[in-house]
Structure 1
């Protein structure tokens, strides 16, 4: 099993070109099946989750060609409606294929999805919304069977601005009869990217990035699509913290600075100097990190839950006491016990963590329990005294392309042992 071994203490400096966004490319790849067109997609990250989605599309009958970070998907030959069980269980994002397959085939069979074990992420909202659009849903023996002879547009009020549910509704509604309005929709930039891709193919969607999205159903898509995937704001935020935690100086390129405002605000509070324009950013870490009174994870444009573990690693060596309130996922503190093994002083009370900064962390053997928690252990290892070993690196590979190579290029003493 792959492991990362690193020795802390090096100051990171240099430039990073941020890869395409995992949370954007996965729904876009799902969207390629909505109509039998051909898609050329640039800036596709080389990630484990993308490989899983590619395998799913191939199993459904699509043809795919990939060269470096360019992917060509032809969904014309799609001839299956069942998502392979072993692939669906490997990745949470497989669930958004429900809406796409209902649009294309009027039927889909999928098992309950897998992914990181960061607490219950019920798909009740997904299923209720699809039923509102006219789908019939049967659940049995861990499988979901959706059918719809004809989907019809409707108004859907989400109880919570769920990203996945918003994406599933969009994908199901693009060919539904009439107009669909999603209220309390998720506002994440990745949904804007999905809207942009679908509109290029012939969809009529407006409002992505706001809490109200309007989808006017069309009979068919007629256009092949060329699309450039947006940069990954979570990857960018992780490298920002790598610079902050090592007192480094890193320049990030190929970013959208507006997507990072919540992270920028908290890192400035921690004492970082940040200089930015529209598409690049320089972050200089402070000699001593300030504690942060409160970090509360919230749906976009709030502080992202996907950055909670990484900022906790930073605050574990801050000067003073910090509080993190996790409001999105109830079991997203699995990295805490691993950080404590490295010498961090962290106490959790339900969804709240209190972090009392220590002077130094010490390297030890740790285990990545999920994607972002694994990234937090790498960040902690960058400053820990001595040798840090991280197991279950496959979690990290789900969301970071060449993570160890990029960090090594910035000056980290890090190796991937396969």
Structure 2
């Protein structure tokens, strides 16, 4: 759903709820958002070999926003070339940031002394919810500015009130006018504060606001999730003092101005790891997933183990940022010997089961013997999209807008379908098609390209048969 838009003739109101290896041919698709891209999937094949994870989508967009704090040159190494990043780059370029892609997915950013916020690319901004995280860094050197309503996945009501409440503590006054948020800033140091909601983007926005305050900010109820940790590690590298990373209690002492030439590598994506795990299990295949931030999916792996999935993990090694533990994860064939869990599957804040990983249990539950209750309590609409898997033969019973029963084992069948307007549910259809015998068509995969880089080519290297066409 889109944000509530006030009548343009009405007075401004308080902050509104938000409802709501690259081949040249693939790069051409990536650069054209007006052109619908589709996938032709010949399913029923066993996957094999190994795949290396790309950097985290959710960390990447937060880091792009954080780059505005630095007046020096920021280089991000091994950065994901995905639609969500492209939209944020279009926004940053429109306000004057010089951005260049270098070899090996290195992204170089140079912000000007003065940003031209009046030129902000609204079309690109409205396609990503990440634009909200611009408020935190922009409020340090702008007393007044506008941000378009945020877009992104349509997952039901996704309130932006927590952003308002948090940024008010730093002196931001935010009102909703016609299709935009107007921000006025009378900057102050909040000292100690508690977040209204432990959301990831809310926490990131608050951290970015605190990064420009020289007095100490003590934040309670912060998200501990992987994207927040990655942001904190980057900020530490540019000189921000942060204590409590990975806990709900953060102490931050910022800087009034930062000018530093730095390089930083975001950590590999645990959600992408779960995509490939789900693809391997649903197709009953053995693959190795390299550079997995395994501690960030430890609960998911325990749940899978209790269902009968066998896997092995290599000895751990450090990510390029020097902080996160990685390992190579091999998923072994189960040969149909999976059982449904006796208790429900539901998401929670880290170290709970990641909300973006929960959907990948749906096709897995569909091939396990028994009935699984999946309770997606965070989003009002996402469980509804799970029912689309029934068109591929998975037995999904929608109980209400948050809960589904999945019964297995199911025999998957080919289908011709369009992607729902949400990244994870859309990628579930691709997983189901990989497992279904015959040729399936998945239409308008822009939403998948928002979060996954060159996915068709990488699946083909694992033995799949996925053709991109338009």
Q: By the TM > 0.5 criterion, same fold?
A: yes
Alignment partner of 1:318 is 2:368: yes
C-alpha distance in structure 1 between counterparts of 2:339 and 2:215, whole Å: 53
Alignment partner of 1:111 is 2:148: yes
Residue 58 of structure 2: aligned partner: 23
**Of 67, 70, 77, which residue of structure 1 is paired with 2:106?**
70
Cα offset, 1:177, TM superposition: 4.5
C-alpha distance in structure 2 between counterparts of 1:113 and 1:94, whole Å: 6
Residue 266 of structure 1: aligned partner: 303
Q: Secondary structure at the match of 2:287?
A: strand
What CA RMSD, in Å, does the superposition of the two structures yield over aligned residues?
1.5
C-alpha distance in structure 2 between counterparts of 1:308 and 1:32, whole Å: 31
Residue 378 of structure 1: aligned partner: 430
Is the Cα–Cα contact under 8 Å of residues 360 and 385 in structure 1 kept in the other structure?
no
Cα offset, 1:78, TM superposition: 4.3
Cα offset, 1:122, TM superposition: 0.8
Is the Cα–Cα contact under 8 Å of residues 195 and 221 in structure 2 kept in the other structure?
yes
Change (3 A) 1:8 1:270: farther
C-alpha distance in structure 2 between counterparts of 1:285 and 1:198, whole Å: 42
Cα offset, 1:231, TM superposition: 0.2
Matched positions, count = 418
Is the Cα–Cα contact under 8 Å of residues 343 and 361 in structure 1 kept in the other structure?
yes
Residue 283 of structure 1: aligned partner: 331
C-alpha distance in structure 1 between counterparts of 2:72 and 2:142, whole Å: 14
**Of 405, 409, 417, which residue of structure 2 is paired with 1:366?**
417
Q: Secondary structure at the match of 2:348?
A: coil
Q: Deviations over 1:272-324 (max 9, x none)?
A: 11111322111113111321232111111111121222210121122111111
Q: Secondary structure at the match of 2:292?
A: coil
Residue 35 of structure 1: aligned partner: 70
Q: Deviations over 1:242-299 (max 9, x none)?
A: 1111111111112221112122112212221111132211111311132123211111
Matches within 5 A, 1:402-413: 402-413=454-465
Residue 327 of structure 1: aligned partner: 377
Change (3 A) 1:106 1:27: farther
Alignment partner of 1:126 is 2:163: yes
C-alpha distance in structure 2 between counterparts of 1:334 and 1:378, whole Å: 17
Alignment partner of 1:354 is 2:405: yes
Using the TM superposition, name which of 164-173 and 153-162 deviates more: 153-162
What is the TM-score when the length of structure 2 is the normalising length? 0.86
C-alpha distance in structure 1 between counterparts of 2:144 and 2:239, whole Å: 22
Q: Deviations over 1:332-389 (max 9, x none)?
A: 1243232111222111222111111143011111121111111100111111122221
Is the Cα–Cα contact under 8 Å of residues 387 and 397 in structure 2 kept in the other structure?
no
C-alpha distance in structure 2 between counterparts of 1:80 and 1:259, whole Å: 38
Which stretches of structure 1, 4 residues or more, deviate above 4 A after TM superposition?
Answer: none
Gaps of at least 5 residues in structure 2 are 1-35, 317-326
Change (3 A) 1:292 1:121: same
Residue 225 of structure 1: aligned partner: 262
Is the Cα–Cα contact under 8 Å of residues 62 and 76 in structure 1 kept in the other structure?
yes
Q: Secondary structure at the match of 1:196?
A: helix
C-alpha distance in structure 2 between counterparts of 1:136 and 1:395, whole Å: 33
C-alpha distance in structure 2 between counterparts of 1:160 and 1:134, whole Å: 19
Using the TM superposition, name which of 224-233 and 354-363 deviates more: 354-363
Is the Cα–Cα contact under 8 Å of residues 34 and 104 in structure 1 kept in the other structure?
no
Residue 216 of structure 1: aligned partner: 253
C-alpha distance in structure 1 between counterparts of 2:345 and 2:414, whole Å: 26
**Of 175, 184, 193, which residue of structure 2 is paired with 1:147?**
184
Using the TM superposition, name which of 26-35 and 174-183 deviates more: 174-183
C-alpha distance in structure 2 between counterparts of 1:291 and 1:78, whole Å: 57
Alignment partner of 1:54 is 2:89: yes
Cα offset, 1:104, TM superposition: 3.6
What is the TM-score when the length of structure 1 is the normalising length? 0.96
